[in-house]
Amino acid sequence: MTDTVLAVLNQPSRAAEPHDPGADSFTWAKPLEEHIQVMDLGLTRGDGVFETITVIDGRPQALEAHLARFGRSAAKLDLPEPDLDAWRQAIEAVCAGLDPVREAYAKTVLTRGVEGLGRPTGWVYAAPSADQTRDRTEGIGVVTLDRGYRHDVERTSPWLLQGAKTLSYAINMAALREAVRRGADDALFISTDGYVLEGTRANLVMSVGGRFVTPRTDIGILDGTTQADVFRFAEQEGIETAYELVTLDDLRAADALWLVSSIRQAAPIHTVNGVRIEMDLGMTERINDFLLSRQD
């Protein structure tokens, strides 16, 4: 925790009043001291959005893609539009403030603010990442869990906020614990009508007959910044890529599977519901080399 660098934004959204008129766009803060008020709706209702950004050698990766998704998530929650210039500046500052470390992350949080004030709260912190070597080199086991929604939920029931990166991750964490209870490392959500969605904190990428396939992003899942860059890698390698509706049968028939996300990057999957899947460790290494050397 002492390695954590924190900045609290003075005016997270231009449409709302600053917290301190005339102050700088962010203030440095000590992570162990109190900054967030107990009546902040981000805490009391999980009413807010966030991003987690990989930081390599002090440099945030896929920053513009993360900022764009931060804005889209905020719009889905009808939050005042985040001032992306102020956020970019604060993210770069906390990353630069880290002690030199190969892998770290920056987390941005925008909440609806203290109840009754009508002014959002925003902060960003950076901290060193936990070691990801085991997941990347030995692989992970997943179990499939029902998410309880149809694959078209984003269109039929937008108030369920599927596809937005909200602070309400208690369900994702409960699914993760259920996966561990079943002897796996992570869960893969399935829609009630049988389509493969995403992991609890990651997207699925499959290798199928020499192509890379990922579930379509309009089915109530996050459009992953890492998945997009895995496809960039594939296209550079001449590997065809596709966004498709993926069934459990497609999953079983795939040649290799990965969960991909910021911080972890690409983790090969060795078992689905206890059934062994061939891992392509050579390809995994190439994907991770590409991801970890991203300069933008």
Residues that bind ligand PLP (CB under 6 A): 52, 198, 201-203, 222, 224-227, 261-262
User: 86 or 164, CB closer to ligand PLP?
Assistant: 164
User: 154 or 198, CB closer to ligand PLP?
Assistant: 198
Residue 114 CB, shortest distance to ligand PLP, in Å, is 26
User: 76 or 201, CB closer to ligand PLP?
Assistant: 201
Residue 133 CB, shortest distance to ligand PLP, in Å, is 19
* β-strand partners of 56: 59, 103
Any residues with CB less than 8 A from the CB of 112 and at least 6 apart, and which? 41, 42, 45, 47, 48, 77, 79, 120, 121
User: 16 or 187, CB closer to ligand PLP?
Assistant: 187
CA atoms within 13 A on the CB side of 161: 18
Residue 15 CB, shortest distance to ligand PLP, in Å, is 25
User: 62 or 114, CB closer to ligand PLP?
Assistant: 62
Residue 46 CB, shortest distance to ligand PLP, in Å, is 14
User: 13 or 225, CB closer to ligand PLP?
Assistant: 225
Residue 238 CB, shortest distance to ligand PLP, in Å, is 23
The C-alpha angle 285, 287, 207, rounded to 5 degrees, equals 100
- Count CB-CB contacts under 10 A for residue 161: 17
Residue 7 CB, shortest distance to ligand PLP, in Å, is 21
Residue 220 CB, shortest distance to ligand PLP, in Å, is 10
Any residues with CB less than 8 A from the CB of 206 and at least 6 apart, and which? 212, 213, 214, 246, 250, 251, 254, 255, 256, 257, 258
| Whole-angstrom distance, CA of residue 217 vs CA of residue 241 | 14
- What residue type is assigned to position 75 of the chain? A
User: 6 or 202, CB closer to ligand PLP?
Assistant: 202
User: 114 or 167, CB closer to ligand PLP?
Assistant: 167
| Whole-angstrom distance, CA of residue 9 vs CA of residue 16 | 12
Burial per residue of 130-156, b for 16 or more beta-carbon CB atoms within 10 angstroms, e otherwise:
eebeebbeebbbbbbbebebbbebbee
* CA-derived radius of gyration, the chain: 19
| Whole-angstrom distance, CA of residue 117 vs CA of residue 99 | 36
Residue 66 CB, shortest distance to ligand PLP, in Å, is 7
